[in-house]
């Protein structure tokens, strides 16, 4: 049963024993294990991207009362393969006056961080490539580099719409990164560590979404904006700026941007499952299966939002970040700090029953207070209403012929 409930440890021990049998030094064995782990993650990310393209098209088709992909393979499962073949075989056209070096580098720089995030993602207790002591800071730092890539893509294309998309991306990602980070700091105070494995292990008794539901909502909305998903996909709003920062990209360039977007969606879902829903924690089923179930549940929520909500305007997007999410995240952090200080004063931990009861009751009260204050203080922005006056078009008189004008 170990191969089912803890396959990564069993396979890892077998590989280490096999490599050690060849007389390799420990550092060589460790290096080979890291290379194998990275290779498995890359393959997993590629397969995940292909599956998510099919899943999103199927779910949105169901929301919109359509069928979705159903021709290529059973249930259209081979449609992502057909799309991949099409994109990889199309001609890669470069704008005449584009900055070619930056133009080539932008999609590569954008897709690499999407893979690097998985290096500290805890898929299971023994399925973490590198459980860094600064795991959360590593994720924030790696995720921030995508902003540079989008600006590079927009500027190097020599296209005004692409430049607008790149500038929107910078403003949006920098703004929403603030409430995203602040929403997690309260949980880091509870855990006392930046290690992703420690965050999961601290949820043995209670999930953090039950302690800080407002922080979860802030994190979810900020993360959706950070990965450029509807209703926050202003950098590539096709109704306004064609395709935004990747307007001039086709074939393999567009494929790389699409690859990074779907991998980021799964990484964001996995991050939410790790921080707020206990990661691999769960009864009966194997830990890795719990991790996938929770992650794909968050993926479903993101796809559901895309098929339901309309896109925001630019001013609504920025106002929502700075006037709603940032103040809420600051209030949440302050109240979380108060609760953690009281727990530390009495020596209560989340691993003990008194600590869990105190934390649940206290943070429940704090979250209710935050919601009530928000409902009391927040005012919906007034939208100027314009009266539309319909003017009846005057009928044009038929021009008279010369004979009729002379009275004949």
Model pLDDT for residues 132-147, shown as the tens digit of each residue: 888 899 998 888 888 8
249 in Cβ contact with 257 (< 8 Å): yes
Measured CA to CA in angstroms, residue 13 lies from 20, 37, 42, 120, 129 at distances of 10, 13, 21, 20, 14
Quote the pLDDT of residue 273: 93
15 in Cβ contact with 135 (< 8 Å): no
pLDDT of 365 higher than 60: yes
What is the mean predicted confidence (pLDDT) over 184-212? 89
Nearest CA-CA partner of 35 in 63, 15, 59, 13: 15
pLDDT of 404 higher than 60: no
Model pLDDT for residues 49-86, shown as the tens digit of each residue: 888 989 998 999 998 888 888 888 888 888 888 888 88
Give residue 382's pLDDT band: very low, low, confident or very high (50, 70, 90). low
Give residue 2's pLDDT band: very low, low, confident or very high (50, 70, 90). low
What is the mean predicted confidence (pLDDT) over 332-349? 85
pLDDT of 325 higher than 80: yes
Q: Name the least confident of 12-21, 77-86, 314-323, 327-336.
A: 12-21
230 in Cβ contact with 265 (< 8 Å): no
**Mean pLDDT taken over the chain:** 84
Share of the chain above pLDDT 90, in %: 13
Q: What is the 3-class SS of 103-143, one letter each residue? A: HHHHHHHHHHHHHHHHHHCCCCCCCCCCCCCCHHHHHHHHH
pLDDT of 408 higher than 60: no
Q: Name the least confident of 127-136, 284-293, 392-401.
A: 392-401
In angstroms, the CA 383 to CA 270 distance is: 38
Residue 311's contacts (CB-CB under 8 Å, 6 or more residues apart) are: 230, 231, 232, 233, 234, 237, 239
Model pLDDT for residues 78-90, shown as the tens digit of each residue: 888 888 888 888 8
Quote the pLDDT of residue 277: 92
Share of the chain above pLDDT 70, in %: 92
100 in Cβ contact with 26 (< 8 Å): no
pLDDT of 393 higher than 70: no
What is the greatest pairwise CA distance in the chain?
118
**Burial tier of 101 (Cβ tally within 10 Å: 0-12, 13-18, 19+):** exposed
Tell me which of 113 and 10 has the higher pLDDT. Answer: 113
What is the mean predicted confidence (pLDDT) over 249-253? 84
Give residue 397's pLDDT band: very low, low, confident or very high (50, 70, 90). low
Q: Name the least confident of 133-137, 141-145, 241-245, 377-381.
A: 377-381
pLDDT of 401 higher than 70: no
What is the mean predicted confidence (pLDDT) over 264-271? 91
Nearest CA-CA partner of 33 in 111, 4, 41: 41
Quote the pLDDT of residue 298: 93
In angstroms, the CA 113 to CA 115 distance is: 5
Give residue 386's pLDDT band: very low, low, confident or very high (50, 70, 90). low
Name residue, tokens 């730092």.
141
pLDDT of 399 higher than 80: no
Tell me which of 270 and 45 has the higher pLDDT. Answer: 270
């Amino acid at each position: 049963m170990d191969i089912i409930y803890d396959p990564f440890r069993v396979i890892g021990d077998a590989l280490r024993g096999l490599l050690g049998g060849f007389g390799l030094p420990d550092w060589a064995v460790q290096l080979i294990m890291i290379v194998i782990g990275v290779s498995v993650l890359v393959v997993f990310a590629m397969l995940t991207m292909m599956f998510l393209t099919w899943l999103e098209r199927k779910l949105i088709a169901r929301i919109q009362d359509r069928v979705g992909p159903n021709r290529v393979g059973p249930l259209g499962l081979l449609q992502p393969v057909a799309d991949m073949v099409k994109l990889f075989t199309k001609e890669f056209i470069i704008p005449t006056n584009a900055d070619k070096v930056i133009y080539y580098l932008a999609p590569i720089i954008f897709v690499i961080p999407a893979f690097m995030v998985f290096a500290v993602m805890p898929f299971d207790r023994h399925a973490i490539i590198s459980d860094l002591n600064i795991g959360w800071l590593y994720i924030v730092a790696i995720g921030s580099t995508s902003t540079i890539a989008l600006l590079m893509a927009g500027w190097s294309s020599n296209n005004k719409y692409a430049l607008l998309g790149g500038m929107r991306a910078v403003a949006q990602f920098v703004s929403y990164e603030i409430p995203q980070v602040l929403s997690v700091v309260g949980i880091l105070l509870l855990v006392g560590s930046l290690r992703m494995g420690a965050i999961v292990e601290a949820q043995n008794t209670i999930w953090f979404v039950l302690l800080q539901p407002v922080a979860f909502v802030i994190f979810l909305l900020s993360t959706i904006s950070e990965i450029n998903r509807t209703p926050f996909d202003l950098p590539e709003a096709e109704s306004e700026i064609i395709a935004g920062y990747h307007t001039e990209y086709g074939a393999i360039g567009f494929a790389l941007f699409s690859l990074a977007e779907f991998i980021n969606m799964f990484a964001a879902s996995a991050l939410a499952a790790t921080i707020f829903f206990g990661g691999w924690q769960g009864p009966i089923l194997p830990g890795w299966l719990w991790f996938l179930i929770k992650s794909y549940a968050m993926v479903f929520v993101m796809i559901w939002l895309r098929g339901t909500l309309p896109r925001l305007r630019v001013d609504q997007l920025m106002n929502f970040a700075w006037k709603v999410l940032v103040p809420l995240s600051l209030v949440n952090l302050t109240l979380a700090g108060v609760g953690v200080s009281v727990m530390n004063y009495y020596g209560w931990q989340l691993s003990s029953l008194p600590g869990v009861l105190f934390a649940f009751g206290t943070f429940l009260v704090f979250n209710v207070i935050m919601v009530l204050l928000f409902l009391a203080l927040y005012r919906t922005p007034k939208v100027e209403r314009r009266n539309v006056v319909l003017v009846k078009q005057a009928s044009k008189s038929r021009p008279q012929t010369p004979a009729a004008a002379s009275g004949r």
